[in-house]
Amino acid sequence: MKAMTIKKYGKNTPLELTELSIPEVGEHDVLVEVYAASINPIDFKIRDGKVKMLLSYKMPLVLGNDFSGKIIQTGSKVNKFQVGDEVYGRPRKNRIGTFAEYHSVHEDDVSLKPNNLTFVEAASLPLVGLTTWQAFHDILELEPGQKILIQAGAGGVGTFAIQLAKEMGAYVATTASEKGHDLVLSLGADQVINYRIQPFEEILEGFDAVFDTLGGESLNRSFRVVKPHGRIVSVSAVPNGRFAVDNKLGFLKRMLFSIVSRRITALERKFNVDYYFLFMKPSGEQLAEIKDFVEQGSIRPLVDRVYPLEKAQEAIQYVETGRAKGKVVLEVKKPL
């Protein structure tokens, strides 16, 4: 099969088209003929070696963290799916590699894809959908009437997050450039701050929650807009000691994460706000719930550009520019 791989960690390491064997299928696995896979920031963070403390992979490594396609083989103990099912999913972190024509994935990590979406559209949803779902339901516990700031509303995660937050009855403020202004309003945002000319922390106050997708100074400034006992969840900043404890990591990693997150911990104490780092977990059950929202028309995918598999390097470079509005997707194979 054809796959896009890297041979070593490094920001300048190119993705190369490689011929590999079709993956083996375990007793609880399904083998998917992959039709589409989306580009996510985690792909180039893995390539750069920025998550080696949490994830370590053997080389050559096939990148890719979500997909859509059709099941062509099932393991002996699979009972949720059958050959021919059209599915979408996010494989668990030790089994990534969806920039390939075939992928073997545990049945618990996939769902039937929304029947009103193309494979390209469906592939744009799993990672951003699960990330947002777990942030809003499991960590922020977002309730109707609460106020949330969603950073980078026109981005891949932001476009999904705005829609889900509105579906959950929240008041949504978001940051976007002038070019993304109309898009985020069309998705339901109640308030848009042009981050190029307006410091959001000087405009917003008394918010219940912040969903941070940027990290850095944007995260640090976010503490100023949250009311006491509010919550901030980030998918782009550093893990902290709480994350290490919650994920039962060893003593050394607890100490390391506590050290690298010292500034964030100081901001937590200063503003009496709780900070959480989210490392999303795969869930076919949650994808099935997202599927229902999509089929009801409550959430729609936003696809910016589509590239063929062999141009994955170009696709990643485009996502790294930060100019994408919505998701960038690889069309791996065309359905027959």
User: In this predicted model, what pLDDT tens digit does every residue of 116-173 receive, in sequence order?
Assistant: 999 999 999 999 999 999 999 999 999 999 999 999 999 999 999 999 999 999 999 9
- 211-218 contacts, C-beta under 8 A, 24 or more apart: 211/132, 211/135, 211/136, 211/140, 211/148, 211/149, 211/150, 211/151, 211/161, 211/165, 212/151, 212/236, 212/237, 213/150, 213/151, 213/152, 213/155, 213/157, 213/158, 213/161, 214/151, 214/152, 218/151, 218/175
Model pLDDT for residues 205-228, shown as the tens digit of each residue: 999 999 999 999 999 999 999 999
Mean pLDDT on 5-15 = 95
Greatest distance between any 2 Cα atoms in the chain: 58
- Provide the pLDDT for residue 274: 96
Q: Distance between alpha carbon 59 and the CA centroid of its chain, in Å? A: 23
Q: Name the CATH superfamily for 2-125+301-331.
A: Medium-chain alcohol dehydrogenases, catalytic domain (3.90.180.10)
pLDDT higher than 90, residue 53? no
Among candidate residues 11, 333, 321, the one with its CA nearest the CA of residue 156: 321
Reading the block at residue 282, the tokens are: 């795969």
Per the rule left: phi > 0, alpha: psi between -120 and 50, beta: everything else, 188 is left
Q: Name the CATH superfamily for 128-277.
A: NAD(P)-binding Rossmann-like Domain (3.40.50.720)
What pTM does this model have?
0.94
The ranges assigned to domains in the chain are 2-125+301-331, 128-277
The amino acid present at 173, given as its one-letter code, is A
